[in-house]
Amino acid sequence: MEKQCHKFRWAFNTKLWNPRKHEFLYAFNCLQEEERERISRFVFRRDFKQALIGRLMMRKCVSTAFSLPSNGITFGRSEKGKPILDKDL
């Protein structure tokens, strides 16, 4: 069986994204606990928003490519601190 190759290119202007509190909390709660803890350490709101959107886009990419529900995806970190999928899909 031949593996299918997926390519995605998405852009998101975080400067234009000004969510209401409930929208912000909803997006934040879509992440796994470890991701929320890491993102919560950012001091500046701009950095927090960029990290949040980046993680949500990673989830969407994996979800779309592998037809998985977003809440079924778990990320970890490599030895060098890079995000990786926790298990084979």
* pLDDT for the residue numbered 2: 58
| CA distances (Å), origin 76, targets 7, 19, 21, 63 | 22, 27, 28, 16
* Inter-residue contact 10 to 57 (CB < 8 Å): yes
- 52-62 pLDDT, tens digit each: 999 999 999 99
* pLDDT for the residue numbered 10: 87
Those residues of the chain that have pLDDT short of 70 are 1-4, 88-89
pTM: 0.82
Domain layout of the chain by residue ranges: 21-85
What's domain 21-85's architecture?
Alpha-Beta Complex (3.90)
* pLDDT for the residue numbered 89: 56
* Inter-residue contact 14 to 44 (CB < 8 Å): no
